[in-house]
């Protein structure tokens, strides 16, 4: 699976959009981009995933560049409860749940 | 519906002992995977079971083992505990290959 690079930490004002970048320059054509987050002392929570098209669900939007070498997770209206570590994972969507988690980005939503 | 349930939530063991952790997946989920989370190494994949068969395995020593029962409940066992095995052990279940649902974890302390 391709390696990902994320900033170690970011701040965001409550109510504003949080834009979390992820670099995956060695991604292969059949690899998906997944985002999970982990709120302190809880298990990781699935947010969204995509292959090449932009995706949106009730939690967030995922914007993948045309060359697929990077992506951005957007939380449209960040709340204090969105403070967490956000993990960007790239993997082939074959069978199996062997996700490789990197250090992620620690997002702090500030009042 | 009920989420992933891990028991016990907290555990203290002595070096050299063995420990068994339990995970009950979401009803209908046949895939159960296990992860270890430590401050130094982050989230690391241990193994995954699907329909009572191990189908993926991470890079952990043989002291770490697991099994899955016919009702999809899973256990992991760590023998000859070492201080470095102190960690949060997370279990995740899934219906297919995409979204994994994590439990709250079992925090193991080895003294």
pLDDT (tens digit per residue) in A32-76: 999 999 998 789 999 999 999 899 999 999 999 999 999 999 999
A:B CB pairs within 8 Å: 56
Whether residues B102 and A44 touch (CB distance < 8 A) is answered with yes
Chain-chain contact of A93 with B98 (C-beta, under 8 angstroms): yes
pLDDT bucket at A1, cuts 50 / 70 / 90: low
Residue B108 scores a pLDDT above 80: yes
The minimum CA-CA distance between B29 and chain A, rounded to whole Å, is 12
Write a three-state SS string for chain A. CCCCECCCEEEEECCCCEEEEEECCCCCCCEEEEEEEECCCCCCEEEEEECCCCEECCCCEEEECCCCCEEEEEECCCCHHHCEEEEEEEEECCCCCCCCCCCCEEEEEEC
Tell whether A97 is within 8 A of chain B (Cβ): yes
Residue in B35, B58, B100 nearest the CB of A46: B100
d(Cα A92, Cα B3) in Å, to the nearest integer? 26
- pLDDT tens profile B5-15: 999 999 999 99
Chain B interface disruption, residue of A34, A38, A43, A45, most B CBs within 10 A = A43
Greater confidence (A41 vs B87) lies with: B87
Q: Please tell me the predicted confidence (pLDDT) of residue A95.
A: 63
Structure tokens at A28: 């292969």
- Which chain B residue has its CA at the smallest distance from A51's CA? B98
């Amino acid at each position: 699976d391709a390696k990902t690079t994320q900033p170690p930490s970011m701040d965001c004002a409550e109510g504003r959009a949080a834009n979390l970048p992820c670099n995956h320059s060695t991604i292969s054509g059949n690899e998906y981009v997944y985002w999970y987050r982990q709120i302190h002392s809880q298990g990781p929570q699935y947010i969204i995933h995509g292959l090449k098209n932009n995706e949106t669900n009730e939690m967030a939007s995922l914007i993948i560049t045309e060359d697929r070498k990077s992506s951005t997770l957007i939380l449209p209206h960040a709340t204090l409860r969105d403070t967490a570590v956000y993990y960007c994972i790239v993997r082939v969507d074959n069978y199996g749940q062997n996700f490789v988690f990197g250090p992620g980005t620690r997002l702090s939503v500030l009042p | 519906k009920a989420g992933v349930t891990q028991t016990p939530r907290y555990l203290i063991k002595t070096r050299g002992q063995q420990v068994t952790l339990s995970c009950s997946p979401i009803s209908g989920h046949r895939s159960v995977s296990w992860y270890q989370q430590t401050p130094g190494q982050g989230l690391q994949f241990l193994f995954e079971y699907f329909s009572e068969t191990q189908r993926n395995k991470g890079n952990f020593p043989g002291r770490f083992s697991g099994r899955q029962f016919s009702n999809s409940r899973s256990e992991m066992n760590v023998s000859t505990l070492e201080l470095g095995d102190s960690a949060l052990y997370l279990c995740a279940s899934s219906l297919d290959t995409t979204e994994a649902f994590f439990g709250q974890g079992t925090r193991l302390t080895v003294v």
